[in-house]
Structures are given as C-alpha cells and as structure tokens.
Amino acid sequence: MNQDAESVTIRGIEKSFGRTKVLRGVDLAIERREFVILLGPSGCGKTTLLRIIAGLERAEAGEIRIGERRVDQLEPKERNVAMVFQSYALYPHMNVFNNQSFSLRLRRMAKDDIRDRVNRAAKTLGLEQLLERYPRELSGGQRQRVSMGRAIVRSPKVFLFDEPLSNLDAQLRVHMRGEIKDLHHQLDTTSVYVTHDQVEAMTMGDRIVVMNGGIIEQIGSPLEVFDKPKNRFVAGFVGSPAMNFVDGELTTSGSGLELRVAGRANIPLGEAGVGRTSGRATIGIRPHHLRITADGPMRSLVKDVQPTGVETILLCRWADSEMLVQTTDRVGVPAGQEIGLSVDPADIHLFDSETGERLDV
C-alpha cells in the first residue's frame, strides 16, 4: 500500500474570470488513493477546479489541503502534484528520455537517480524501446504515455488528469482507459481525472463528481449516480443514450400512484416512497428499460431505427416527448409504424417538475 498517497480536501472554492462566476462554492473531500472523476458538460468549471488544485489558477475564496497541509497559497511545484494534459504538452525538441527527466533535472537530482526513475516509469508504461525517439516520431497513444511518464517520475502525492484521452481515436481511448486504470492500481496514488465523457467516468472512477454551472450536483460511485441520480440534470447527463423524460400530473387510483400524461395514459408508479400524491412531476425512464409490447400503454410512433450491431436504438414519439428505446433484440419495425411501449414501475425515476429534485428515495 502506498503510504505516500494523500487526501485532497477542497472547501468553499469560488472563482470568477472577469464578471463570469465559474465556481460557486465547491466542497469536496477526496480520500487517499481514491480515483475521483470530475464530470460535467463543457464550461461547467471542472478544468478550472483541477487547475486550482494544481496551483495553475488561484481561487478568490476557499481552501485546498493535500493531506493536512494547506496548499492554496503555494506555488505549483511546492504542492507535490503532477498534471497530465489533454494536449500532452511534450517538448518537441527533446527525446522521450529528456522529456521524462526534465523536471528531475530542474530539481538537480543525481544523474543515476534520474536514470533509475525514468527507466522504471518507461517499464511501467511500455516505453523502454522509445526513449530515444522525439514526440513527432510517436503515435498519439505513445505521446500520451510519455506525458504520463513525465508525471510518474516525480512520484507525486496526487495525479491530476485533464481530459487526457480526448485527442485519441475511439479504439485507442478504450485501450488507454484500461491502461490508466491499471496504472492507478499499480501506483496506488490519489488521482483526480477531468472528463466530459460519461462512459469514461462510469468505467474508470471509484467516485464520480457531477458538476454543472460551477456547482457539484452529486457525488457517488458510478452505479449510485446512474441508479439514483439526485436530480433531473444528473439523470439526463449520466447514461448513454440519455434518459427519457415525460411531464405529467400525479394522481392516485385504486392501484396506487400514477402519472397522468395529458390525454394519453396513466403510468403506474408503483410503491416508490414519493411523499406526495398530487402536483406536476416528471418521470425519467432509461432507454433500456422501455419494452416493446403489443399492449404497451404508451402507443408511440417510430421515427427512426438505428441498428448498431449489438443493439438497436429506436427514436420514437409519445405524447409530447421524444422517447429513445434501446434493445438488444433485432427489431424489424420500420419507421412510421406505431408500437406499444411499457416500463416496469420499479425502473421509473420521479422528479419534481419545478426544482428537478428526485422525489422517490
């Protein structure tokens, strides 16, 4: 177990650029050796938060601690963190060895120690044969590995990753996801990883921090966030294809709570502890929870059929809502046909239409 790994504690961080408030009081406690993902749409402030942890930006309010030590007034190099950038940020005129050893040479570390560290990192990352090459002679994935190597040689207390895979093609991205996860387990260090790709977030993190408009919307394990999104924003952002939403009016019938959807149908909501029996509400249904059944209560018009090989996505219209249906069946329904859709009440998420907060707990 890596005894050097440190926790990161973020309290009340606020940051503006000019008159634009980018972070509005962010609190987050990251445990030692945890792999935490900052996930959110473009512009939500995740990169800014990472740069504030690194010391590349200064917050106007709040504090950052690495372990017990308060670091927000320290220079980046005094914080003992290493950052891996989306752009790799390699020095083009230096070969791989020199790129990796640069920060150690700046620190005037002994030559033998430098060689040891670079060789160890190169072995971990499979770069041993490439130490003499220049960045222009490397593939995207190899460059990304060099930039990770440059972080590893410094033995930081915390690794910060800023969308490190977004410049890679889809196949390589899947491969590198595995490599970064492996690396995290090998090095056993605290990692904070920024991405807007929710598949990356789901597959890599111990915990996901979902951000939106400069605040944290939810913190939880990938499956907690997926299965129990705290509000409509998280529900709509996490999961691909995205969750379907339908607005209606809560009502009770002999069989329990239902959502009445204007002039269409009543959707039974089952036993969920909603604590409310009337008023406007929004239901959320994940595309893979919709079933195509002859007598399904949601009579929907199929607008497009998208087979991917493994599964089929149907784009349908029901009431005033677009409905995505995801099925592993090879459905032979043509566009323009009407189908019946049904859902198990246990799979329905329920949100307040006004506040977007989750109603069933």
Residues that bind ligand ATP (CB under 6 A): 17, 22, 40, 42-48, 196
CB of 46 to ligand ATP, least distance (A): 4
Contact predicate 28/10, CB 8 Å: yes
Per-residue exposure over 199-237, b if at least 16 CB sit within 10 Å of its own CB, e if not: ebbbebbebbbbbbebebbbbbebeebbeebbbbbbbbb
Torsion of CA 238, 242, 243, 244, to 10 degrees: 160
Q: Given the complex with ligand ATP, which of 13 and 314 has the nearer CB atom?
A: 13
Q: Given the complex with ligand ATP, which of 194 and 324 has the nearer CB atom?
A: 194
CB of 45 to ligand ATP, least distance (A): 4
CB of 208 to ligand ATP, least distance (A): 14
CB of 44 to ligand ATP, least distance (A): 4
Q: Given the complex with ligand ATP, which of 196 and 286 has the nearer CB atom?
A: 196
CB of 88 to ligand ATP, least distance (A): 16
Q: Given the complex with ligand ATP, which of 85 and 102 has the nearer CB atom?
A: 85
**One-letter identity of residue 171:** Q
What's the CA gap between 276 and 360, in Å, rounded?
Answer: 10
Q: Given the complex with ligand ATP, which of 144 and 212 has the nearer CB atom?
A: 212
What's the CA gap between 195 and 176, in Å, rounded?
Answer: 14
Per-residue exposure over 330-355, b if at least 16 CB sit within 10 Å of its own CB, e if not: eeeeeeeeebebebebeebbbbbbee
Whether omega before 241 lies within 30 degrees of 0, making that bond cis, reads yes
Identify the three-state secondary structure at position 211.
strand
Q: Given the complex with ligand ATP, which of 40 and 287 has the nearer CB atom?
A: 40
Q: Which two tokens mark 144?
A: 């990304």
Q: Given the complex with ligand ATP, which of 54 and 302 has the nearer CB atom?
A: 54
Residue 345 phi, psi dihedral angles, 5° rounding: -50, -30
CB of 305 to ligand ATP, least distance (A): 32
CB of 321 to ligand ATP, least distance (A): 28
CB of 48 to ligand ATP, least distance (A): 3
Residues ≥6 apart with Cβ < 8 Å to 109:
117
Identify the three-state secondary structure at position 307.
strand
Identify the three-state secondary structure at position 173.
helix
Q: Given the complex with ligand ATP, which of 16 and 252 has the nearer CB atom?
A: 16
Closest residue by beta carbon to ligand ATP: 47
